[in-house]
Amino acid sequence: MTIFTASDGIARCGWCAASDDYIAYHDKEWGFPVADDRRLFEKLSLEGFQSGLSWRTILMKRENFRAAFAGFDFDRVADFEESDVERLLQDAGIVRHRGKIEAVINNARRAQELVRETGSLAAYVWGFEPAGDIPYLASTSPASIAMSKDLKKRGWKFVGPTTVHAFMQAMGLINDHAEGCAIRAEAERARRAFQPPKG
């Protein structure tokens, strides 16, 4: 993975050279462990929307997505009806893709089922934390393949292995900051201090 040195002199993962928004996201969010169910559901949903698009497109619209999907409170989204789908298809602030919109609503209902079974979405997700290192630039991993397969079996949509791998990178299950990236050590310290939730 390439290294990018910004005007502040800090070395970072090469992918965040695309924009200042990427730098902020890379430094404060990407790769840091998350145990909050709403944030986990949001990220899984947004990764689904990203399918076929750039993450920058989604990141620039993230606040619009939050407003459109009740802050990604899956208990609220689970109550969305066809009229909500039609409303969202008219919302120019988000990606207007019927299948992806319907997937978020479906997945909110599946998230409720998971919480009833495992206690929290976080407990379920962190049960798939990889045991060993994942090669840099990998687009999938054994852990993302296993989680994707299990989610699909449970009826989730837009959760392929590549989508789930990107989710794991972002939510800190994998520290995929490049060797030489100044944030890698920060993310690793956060991961060591993190206590994965138990079901």
Catalytic residues: 25, 47, 55
Amino acid in position 97: H
Encoding tokens for residue 29?
Answer: 């969010």
Alpha helix segments (H runs only) across the chain: 20-28, 37-50, 55-60, 62-68, 74-77, 82-89, 98-118, 121-126, 142-153, 161-170, 182-193
Q: Strand 11-13 relative to strand 3-5: parallel, antiparallel, unpaired?
A: antiparallel
Of 176, 144, 136, 137, residue with least CA distance to 162: 144
